[in-house]
Structure 1
Amino acid sequence: MNKKISVISFLATVIVISGCAQEKPISSYDDAGLCILKGQAMGYGNTEIMPKIQAEFARRGELSISNADCDTYIQTGKQSAQVDMQTTRDIIDRSQRSQAINAIQGY
C-alpha cells in the first residue's frame, strides 16, 4: 500500500512541478543550449515553441559552434526527451500494474 501511495505521490509531484516551471527566455541560452533545446522540442513534439526557437536562430545568424556540433546537440536533445518520455511511461505502467495487483489482492 505504501509503495502505491509513494508512486502516486511521485507522479503528482512531477505533474505539479512541471506545470509550475518557469520558462527560461530562449535568448538566455548559449548556442549549444539552443541546439539542445531545439532537439528537446522536436523529441517531445512541442510544436508551440519551435517558431520561437527558429526565430532565435534567425536573430543570432551564425552560431559560435559549427553546424555539425549543433546537429549533434540537437540529436542529444531529442534522445534526452525520448528517454524522459519512456521513463515517464514506464513509471505510469508500473503504477497501473501495482494498482491492479493491489485491487485483485484486496488492498
Structure 2
Amino acid sequence: VALYEVLKRRDAHIERLTGEITKLKAFISKRKQTYKRKRKDESAPTRALSAYNIFVQDRFSQLAKENEQALKSADSDAQLKRVPPASLVASTGNQWKELPPEEKALYEERAREDRKR
C-alpha cells in the first residue's frame, strides 16, 4: 500500500512537471519570434537640422573629398595617412567650439531656414 502511494505521488509530480515544461516551451517559442524593425514613413517630415549638424555635414563632405584620393590611391602610405573617423568626429566638435561667432552665425542662419521648411 505504501509503495502504491509513493508511485501515485511520483506520477502526479511527473504530470505537473510535464505541464510546466509545455508551458515553458510555449513561452520560449513566443520569445523566439523575430521582431521586424519599424520603418520610418518616407513621406513623414524630417527633423530640422541644428547649426552644428549643418557644420558637421559641410566639414565631413570637405574631408571626404580630401580623403578620396587616399582611398583610391594604390600607395599604401597614402592609405595609412587617412584620418580615422573617430578622430574626425572629435576634431570636428573641437572646431565647432573654436569657430568664431561670425562664422557660427552663418550656420545658425542656415539652421533657421531649415526650420522653416
Fold shared, TM-score > 0.5 on shorter chain: no
More helix by share: 1
TM-score between the two structures when normalised by the length of structure 2: 0.29
